[in-house]
Structure 1
Amino acid sequence: MLTKEEIQHKIDYEIIVDCYDETEVSMGWYYFFEENLEFPFKATVPLRKKDGSTEIKVVKVVALASDEEGITDNDFELEIENGEYLMDVSYSELTNIKASAQTREAFQIWDFWVK
C-alpha cells in the first residue's frame, strides 16, 4: 500500500500534471487507468433484473469504458462481462475486487482522490 504522500505525489506529478480544466483532468485519469489497470479481473456487482430486484453477481471486468470523457470527479465506467453479455458499470458499484497489485494500487490512488 502506498502512503498518502506517495499517492499525492503520483496524482500531482503523473496524473493531473499540467491539467488546467476538468476535461484535461478527466483525460489524465483516463490515460492513467489505461496504462495501469490490468484486465481481466473479477469483482462483484449488483445487477438489476427485469422484475426490478437486484442480484449480486461475480463478473469479469474486461476493459475501461471506451469514452475518456466518462471519468468524472467521483466515478468512472468499466466494461464487465456477465455470461454472454457485455455492459458498462460504475467503478463505485464494484466490490470484492480480485485484481493484480498494480490494478489495486491504481484504485487506491483513485479512492484517495475522490475522498
Structure 2
Amino acid sequence: MLTCAQIERLFHQYRDELMRRLRSMVSCRDTAADLMQETFIRLLRVVETQSVEHPRALLHRTATNLAIDYLRTQRNALNVPEQLEASDKDRHTGEAGLGHVQNGSAFRSGT
C-alpha cells in the first residue's frame, strides 16, 4: 500500500510527463490539468484497497482512459446537433419532399 508521502513523490515525479501526454490527447491545458487531478484521485482510491506494483503504468493507463472518455463525451456532444438535424429532415419529408421530387421529374420530362 502506498503512503501519502509516496503518492506525493509520484505526483512530483510524473506530473510533467502525464501533463504532456494528456495535453497531446485533449489539446487543452485546463482539461489536461483536470484529467491529471482525476488520475491522482483515482490512484488514491485504488491504493486504499489494492497494492500497486507499477504506479507509473497505472497512472499512464488511468490518464489515457480518462482522456479517451473525455474525448468520447465531446464527440458525442458534437454529434447531437447532427442527429437532431437528421431527425428533422426525416420528419419533414412528407408531401413537401415528394412534391419537390415530382416537380423536378416533371421539369425533366417537359424538356
Q: Please report the TM-score for the alignment, with normalisation by the length of structure 1.
A: 0.21
Structure (1 or 2) with the greater strand fraction: 1
Q: Please report the TM-score for the alignment, with normalisation by the length of structure 2.
A: 0.22
Bigger Cα Rg:
2
